[in-house]
Structure 1
Amino acid sequence: MHLTAFFVFAFLFIQDCLAKPLARVVPLQDGMPDPSPSQLLEIEQRAHGTLSNMLPPANISKAGITNLQLIAFNELFEVAFFKQLLANITNEVEGFFLSEDDDRDFIVDSLSTILAQEEIHALTANNALKHVMTAQVLPCNYSFPVTSITNAIDFASTFTSVMLGTLQDITEISARNGDSALTRVVAAIIGNQGEQQGWYRVFMGKVPSETPMLTTSAREFGFSYVEQFVLPGSCPNASSIPLRAFLPLTIVEFPGPMTQDIVVTWELPDMDTARKLRYAKGKDGQFWLVYINQLNLPIVERLRFIGFDGTTVLAKARFPYEEHLLNGLTIAAVTNSSGPFANANAVAASTLYGPGVIIVN
């Protein structure tokens, strides 16, 4: 094994040993996803607002139904996360203790409000599905890779960035497929998520707003990102969502605000594929790392293989920060094509592994 690869594999092993999941969560609180009238009233009071009493459109396109399923799938994931985060804080689990000097009451009140607002979002999407005689999306069990309040908020900021990009794609698909009546609902959710994101960023000592144009995404990337934190076999009906889930891509070491090489890793599906790729490892350029950042054309960089260990692949590629001012969220994907790519959807169509999520500020 190449010396660089050895040290990277050692790094990954240590990280795996140290990273313990926050929780495996079931069931949700407040009767979710089917709260009683009294439970809904309590949710609304904590959310500082109500579930809309306007009827969803009578007809929703097939693409629009997929959009609603994805929103519900993501929002239930967020509900589970904030439920467990609040439980860890209130129970003073190690790593989640907040003193009065930390403004504990304000933080708990803020997270309680965010939790209830995510419940409203999930109910909004599921109610629209039920309105057009489609089964609502049910919650899964999840494992969250956080061990403290600080990296929990960082994780919340990351998945919110990914969702904000995904909601851009959902809005465009809704408009393109005759579901313009749903775009107002999606825009309202985007605004709320943006407000939450500003608070997470301030909590972490960052300026509230990330970039002038938030990074866009594709539905498949949003779906695949949440899938990484779902416990296998725990979803009652998420398989009914007709979106492709990519095999995961891991960024080994995150870049700073500079142009540099970054190392990525992924797991091949079987040993036969691994042997074929190992045999061809001298032919760099069969795979590419594509970056999606802000509302710019995707950036394509050649991947160079640096190591194999069984079915685990290590490769590196240039992260061209300075040429493109790659601030905020960057979505990375391993593709089997060098493009050029017109947009995030074109990248998704050629993606093998992803998304790798990079945030530079």
Structure 2
Amino acid sequence: MRFTSPQTLLTLTVAATSVAAAPFEYPLPDGFPTPSPAQIAAIEQLAGGTLPNGPSPANLTKTAITNLHLLALNEFFETAYFTELLANVTNDVPGYDAGSIAPLDKTYVVDALTAVVNQEQLHALGINAILAGAGHKIIKPCEYEFPVTTFKQAILLAQTFTDVVLGTLPKAQAIFAADGGDESPLIQLFGSVLAQEGEQAGFYRYVQKKTPSAAPFLTGGSPSFTFTAIQAFIVNGSCPQPLPDIALTTFGTLNVLTTPEAKNMTLDFSVSGSVSPFNNSIVYLSGQNLPVAVPISNVKPVAGAFQFQASFPFESGFANGLTIAALVKGAGTTFNSTDSVAKATVYGPGLIEVD
């Protein structure tokens, strides 16, 4: 896309960045996010399928509403991201020659991205229909900025945030099943979305000549980690409804300054506030294993921020693909779930991709 690529993208840390290009804004030429019935039919044709026509819950719990708001927020972001990526590839914007990556050709990439854009639109419309059908506030799109300038960077970032979504959807399914409401129809519905996002992830990995399936068990996450990561791409103050209305936590930014590799190594991090090896530690979420907490060291102030180091014990059983890092309160603490990590998090998520 047309934006300056920061060092944080190259190290796979999703962080806000200042850019010179105009932000991405809705609506789209096809009427989205408020398409007419005829426009919806055209979107469905390009997406390869229709909106679900089965019943949805008449009543939603507070927790379910929060999860649906998060999922809709993500779908609007993804639609914007892939719409601009598709436009850049279609219009031969410098740096977006998809056909330069064997064995791809431009037509295949355009067809694939066209399907993705329209599928993401239906995801967003479907979630908002569930909210509206139960009498609750729908999510409206914001303005967005994307820190990539080439096709390769855009696909790498697409893989990263799709991996985050793949860790978020099972959590949403578990919440729908356990919160005491009547959201059971949503479990299967979002299982189908989870599978669709998995098919997308395989494509993004294939484009990078990676094994299409990263690991036997993918990394889980926390709704608040996803909520924080999405906000890195939202233009401040551009959302029609205040983001604090979504009942999730926004963490401080955790920058991963070292390019991680598939081996035991030391990583450099930075945060905006003070940290201490006596009061903080780094926790990693990788695969479906228990969280791994490691001490931090060599804390030093640098240019108004604080840098520090922590070991990255990849060879102790980490999965390929996404690992999530978080700076938490406490040193020497043991965590037994992603939820317990999120409750203790001060800065995060640091998004690490290793293959």
Does TM-score exceed 0.5, indicating one fold?
yes
**2:48 maps to which residue?**
48
2:263 to 253, 258, 267: 258
Equivalent-residue separation in structure 2 for 1:92 and 1:19 (angstroms): 24
Query: Matched residue of 2:270: which SS?
Result: strand
Query: Matched residue of 2:324: which SS?
Result: strand
**1:8 maps to which residue?**
none
Shift of 1:123: 0.8
**1:231 maps to which residue?**
235
Equivalent-residue separation in structure 2 for 1:330 and 1:231 (angstroms): 26
- Superposition misfits of 4+ residues, deviation over 6 angstroms: none
Give, as a single letter, the amino acid of the residue that structure 2 aligns with 1:93.
Answer: V
Contact 2:89-2:106 at 8 Å conserved across structures: no
**1:65 maps to which residue?**
65
**1:95 maps to which residue?**
95
**1:247 maps to which residue?**
252
**1:132 maps to which residue?**
134
Identity across matched positions, percent: 37
What does residue range 77-226 of structure 1 map to in structure 2 within 5 Å? 77-99=77-99, 102-177=104-179, 178=181, 179-226=183-230
Residues 129-154 of structure 1 show CA distances to partners (whole Å, capped at 9, x for unaligned) of: 10111111011111111110011011
RMSD across aligned positions (CA): 2.1
**1:312 maps to which residue?**
305
Residues 68-105 of structure 1 show CA distances to partners (whole Å, capped at 9, x for unaligned) of: 11110000000000111111112221111344874100
Give, as a single letter, the amino acid of the residue that structure 2 aligns with 1:114.
Answer: V
1:295 to 284, 288, 303: 288
Contact 2:296-2:309 at 8 Å conserved across structures: yes
What does residue range 301-340 of structure 1 map to in structure 2 within 5 Å? 301-338=294-331, 339-340=333-334
Contact 2:270-2:308 at 8 Å conserved across structures: yes
Higher normalized helix content (fraction of residues): 1
Give, as a single letter, the amino acid of the residue that structure 2 aligns with 1:334.
Answer: L
Contact 2:81-2:146 at 8 Å conserved across structures: yes
2:346 to 346, 352, 356: 352
Shift of 1:325: 3.2
Shift of 1:32: 2.0
Give, as a single letter, the amino acid of the residue that structure 2 aligns with 1:89.
Answer: V
TM-score normalized by the length of structure 2: 0.90
Show structure 2 runs of 5+ residues with no match: 1-6
Shift of 1:20: 5.4
Equivalent-residue separation in structure 2 for 1:185 and 1:305 (angstroms): 47
Give, as a single letter, the amino acid of the residue that structure 2 aligns with 1:47.
Answer: A
Shift in alpha-carbon separation, 1:264–1:23, aligned structure 2, 3 A: farther
Shift of 1:327: 2.0
Residues 213-241 of structure 1 show CA distances to partners (whole Å, capped at 9, x for unaligned) of: 11000100111111111111111113321
Shift of 1:39: 1.0
Equivalent-residue separation in structure 1 for 2:313 and 2:156 (angstroms): 24
Give, as a single letter, the amino acid of the residue that structure 2 aligns with 1:246.
Answer: F
Show structure 1 runs of 5+ residues with no match: 1-10, 269-273
Aligned length: 337
